[in-house]
């Protein structure tokens, strides 16, 4: 049976699923309900000198019927006092001693301010500290958040101040709003960081109301850039996590953040080297109980793969990512279409001719090769394409012209109707670097 118990830089917790710093961790009452639901840890909503937030605060991008594919927020750090937050941290740790409580911190960029809040937070019982060097809006205009994370020298300096007095592990939360995230990661390590959290939200404007002409969210006729998160940012987060995990000059643990909504995304982040994963948008959208499926799903997948602990598969995907110049130019795949399951929607044909390499053709075979479009297939085609079922033409791949780009496979609405098949060329593997001697 899979064992999800996690030891992240000395911080022990029942599983690697943490709530990320944000609205779901704004109070002790919320964090305790989350722990009751099954979450292994929580990163407290960022604590600092309390601020005044605006109304409204959130906007989103919806896509193809899915609400909140991407969420934008202009909410700042905690609007509650430091004393209130620390008192509730102490209460949570008293009731849940075996769960991870990480305090996210952000204060003015002075040694005195940072060391004071570090001491007070650890005295309250926090298991670790997350230095918020990533917030891209509001606080950055005040010289905090991403204003620190975008300058490696500042990130190193402040991390060093914290490490002078910290008794618990120190995580540095990195901003993606930077040319090369590895520079900030290396700086955090030079400052003594025990681990990294990546990524924070991405600068964004999600849309403009075409009636009022005001970008969303609307605050009295004005708006501002905010932090983008949710499923839409997962590909960017995975890329940046991989950049950190594969950098020999970093070499410290990573807590992964960005678009994690289920166990599959969690497994992807762990495969790229993360020891824990943090979730915010999905909890805001669906509630705390989503962790139940995350725990069951990850454990079942681990059992199927023969992994007993998270450490057994952490980072296994990192060596499989390389620079383009090292990819095998002689590796070849082609598309093949299953005539028995094809519904004749022509999406693969249109995509190939208008957006790819013109290797799919529409034949109208006679006799036994002709297909019969059944009522079920017609209904499926109507549902998938929104249009009428075409005639009994069926797509054919000219394999000599197919470049194996995957586009037809990606657009096909019928699962496993199109497969990408490896073709043996007889040529030995050869990369661009080998071919050119680079």
Residues identified as active-site = 135
Cα→Cα distances 320→189, 249, 272, 376, 382, Å: 25, 19, 10, 41, 40
In 6-127, which ranges are E strands? 6-8, 11-13, 17-19, 41-47, 58-63, 66-73, 100-105
CA angle 296, 298, 299 (to 5 degrees): 65
What number of helices (H) and strands (E) belong to the chain?
Answer: 14, 18
For residues 205-215, b (16+ Cβ closer than 10 Å) or e, as one string?
Answer: ebeeeeeeeeb
Task: Kindly calculate the radius of gyration of the chain based on its CA atoms and give it in whole angstroms.
Answer: 25
Cα→Cα distances 336→169, 371, 402, Å: 52, 16, 10
User: Which residues have CB under 8 Å from 390's CB, separation 6+?
Assistant: 344, 345, 346, 381
> Under a CB-based contact definition with an 8 Å cutoff, are residues 135 and 145 in contact?
yes
User: Which residues have CB under 8 Å from 26's CB, separation 6+?
Assistant: 45, 78, 80
- 367: DSSP letter: G
Q: Which residues pair with 396 in a beta bridge?
A: 361
Residue 135 burial (10 A CB sphere; 0-12, 13-18, 19+)? buried
Residue that is written with structure tokens 């003015």 in the block: 108
> Under a CB-based contact definition with an 8 Å cutoff, are residues 223 and 215 in contact?
yes
Helix (H) or strand (E) holding 149: helix 146-149
Catalogue the long-range contacts made by 247-252 (C-beta closer than 8 Å, 24 or more residues apart): 247/182, 247/185, 247/186, 249/182, 249/186, 249/189, 250/182, 250/185, 250/186, 250/189, 250/196, 251/189, 252/188, 252/189, 252/193, 252/194, 252/195, 252/196
| Residue 245 token pair | 């995990």
- How far apart CA 296 and CA 300 sit, in angstroms, is 6
> Under a CB-based contact definition with an 8 Å cutoff, are residues 50 and 195 in contact?
no
């Amino acid at each position: 049976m899979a064992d999800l118990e996690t030891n992240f830089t000395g911080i022990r917790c029942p599983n690697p699923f943490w709530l990320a710093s944000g609205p779901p961790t704004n109070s002790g009452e919320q964090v305790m309900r989350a722990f009751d639901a099954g979450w292994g840890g929580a990163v407290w909503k960022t604590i600092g000198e309390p601020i005044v937030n605006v109304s409204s605060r959130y906007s989103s991008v919806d896509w193809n019927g899915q609400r909140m594919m991407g969420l934008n927020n202009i909410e700042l750090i905690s609007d509650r006092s430091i004393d209130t937050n620390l008192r509730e941290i102490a209460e949570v740790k008293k009731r849940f001693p075996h769960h991870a409580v990480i305090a996210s911190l952000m204060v003015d960029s002075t040694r005195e301010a940072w060391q004071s809040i570090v001491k007070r937070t650890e005295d309250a019982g926090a298991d670790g500290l997350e230095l918020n060097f990533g917030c891209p809006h509001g606080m950055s205009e005040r010289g905090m958040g991403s204003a620190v994370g975008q300058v490696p020298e500042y990130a190193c300096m402040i991390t060093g101040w914290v490490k002078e007095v910290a008794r618990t592990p120190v995580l540095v939360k990195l901003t993606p709003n930077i040319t090369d995230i590895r520079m900030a990661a290396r700086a955090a390590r030079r400052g003594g960081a025990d681990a990294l959290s990546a990524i924070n939200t991405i600068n964004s404007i999600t849309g403009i109301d075409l009636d009022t002409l005001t970008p969303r969210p609307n605050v009295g006729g004005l708006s501002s850039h905010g932090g983008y998160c949710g499923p839409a940012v997962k590909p960017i987060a995975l890329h940046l996590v991989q950049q950190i995990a594969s950098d020999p000059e970093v070499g410290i643990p990573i807590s992964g953040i960005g678009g994690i909504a289920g166990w599959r995304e969690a497994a992807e982040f762990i495969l790229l080297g993360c020891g824990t994963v943090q979730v915010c948008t999905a909890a805001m959208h669906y509630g705390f109980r989503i962790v139940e499926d995350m725990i069951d799903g990850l454990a079942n997948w681990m059992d199927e793969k023969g992994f007993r602990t998270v450490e057994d598969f952490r980072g296994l995907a990192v060596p499989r990512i390389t620079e383009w110049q090292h990819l095998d130019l002689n590796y070849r795949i082609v598309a093949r279409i299953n005539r028995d399951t094809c519904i004749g929607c022509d999406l693969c044909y249109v995509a190939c001719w208008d957006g790819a390499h013109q290797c799919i053709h529409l034949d109208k075979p006679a006799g036994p090769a002709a297909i019969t479009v059944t009522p079920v297939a017609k209904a499926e085609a109507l549902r998938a394409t929104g249009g009428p079922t075409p005639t009994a033409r069926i797509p054919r791949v000219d394999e000599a012209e197919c470049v194996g780009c995957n586009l037809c496979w990606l657009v096909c609405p019928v699962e496993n109707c199109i497969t990408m098949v490896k073709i043996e060329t007889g040529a030995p593997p050869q990369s661009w670097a080998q071919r050119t001697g680079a």
